[in-house]
């Protein structure tokens, strides 16, 4: 999930692109003539970015309805686009991890079983399996976040209720590094804990 010092991975890439799209819009709109069509090269100049990157940005602009084709390119003639008065897209505010999706769903549900939690949390970007929901519930139960409303019995699973609503950010289940001393029976957490 969180890597080294510099963010990487598809999400970081998407975030960077989004920031660049915003920058592109701002710069295109503050040109002498904002309505003037622009080519990939114009945008690459404006952004001080490679042409491929400028093309990514244009594709994004068109996909979100903020730019449209002004002149179609053919052969050696490059295509030109112009900004539209299209809707400004919302900030991308999707939970990015399974834990965040489950936390959001469980805060909204009065009581839930791992299956119903998975059903409702499994609508976002990340797949949430029943097994993952079961694991998360078990961890939060042990940590005192959940209360058992109905104990598991033959044929049906346990039903939980969220009793400790600590806020918007999802508690995460982490593997921690610890030193365990069998002589004294002590466990000292040394790393990996958030």
Q: Is residue 176 within 8 Å of residue 189, measured between CB atoms?
A: yes
Torsion of CA 23, 29, 33, 39, to 10 degrees: 50
CA 45 to chain centre: 30
Minimum Å gap between C-beta 95 and other proteins is: 6
**Quick one: which segment of 45-53, 60-68, 113-121, 181-189 binds other proteins (CB under 8 A)?**
113-121
> Which residue in the set 54, 57, 105, 137 belongs to the binding site for other proteins (CB under 8 A)?
105
Helix (H, G, I), strand (E, B) or coil at 133: helix
CB nearer to other proteins: pick between 79 and 119: 119
Q: Compute the distance between CA of residue 190 and CA of residue 179 in angstroms, rounded to an integer.
A: 7
98 counts as binding other proteins under rule CB under 8 A: yes
CB nearer to other proteins: pick between 15 and 42: 15
DSSP per position, 62-126 = HHTTSEEEEE--BTTBPPEEEE--PPPPPP-----SHHHHHHHHHHH-SSB-HHHHHHHHTTSSS
**Quick one: which segment of 36-44, 51-59, 163-171, 176-184 binds other proteins (CB under 8 A)?**
163-171
CB nearer to other proteins: pick between 79 and 95: 95
> Which residue in the set 68, 71, 125, 131 belongs to the binding site for other proteins (CB under 8 A)?
125
CA–CA–CA angle 114, 115, 119 (5° rounding): 115
> Which residue in the set 14, 19, 123, 152 belongs to the binding site for other proteins (CB under 8 A)?
123
Binding footprint of other proteins on the chain (CB under 8 A):
1, 10-11, 87-88, 90, 93-98, 101, 104-105, 107-110, 119-127, 165-169
């Amino acid at each position: 999930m969180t890597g080294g010092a510099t963010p990487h991975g598809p999400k970081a890439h998407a975030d960077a692109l989004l920031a660049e799209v915003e920058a592109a819009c701002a710069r295109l709109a503050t040109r002498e003539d904002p309505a003037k069509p622009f080519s990939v090269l114009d945008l690459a100049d404006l952004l001080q970015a490679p042409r491929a990157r400028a093309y990514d940005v244009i594709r994004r602009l068109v996909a979100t309805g903020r730019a449209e084709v002004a002149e179609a390119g053919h052969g050696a003639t490059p295509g030109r686009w112009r900004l539209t008065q299209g809707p400004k897209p919302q900030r991308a505010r999707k939970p990015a991890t399974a834990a965040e999706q489950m936390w959001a769903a469980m805060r909204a549900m009065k009581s839930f079983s791992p299956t119903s939690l998975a059903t409702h949390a499994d609508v976002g970007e990340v797949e949430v399996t029943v097994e993952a929901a079961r694991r998360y519930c078990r961890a939060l139960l042990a940590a005192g976040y959940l209360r058992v409303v109905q104990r598991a019995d033959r044929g049906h699973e346990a039903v939980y209720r969220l009793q400790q609503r600590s806020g918007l950010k999802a508690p995460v289940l982490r593997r921690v590094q610890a030193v365990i001393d069998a002589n004294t029976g002590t466990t000292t957490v040394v790393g990996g804990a958030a």
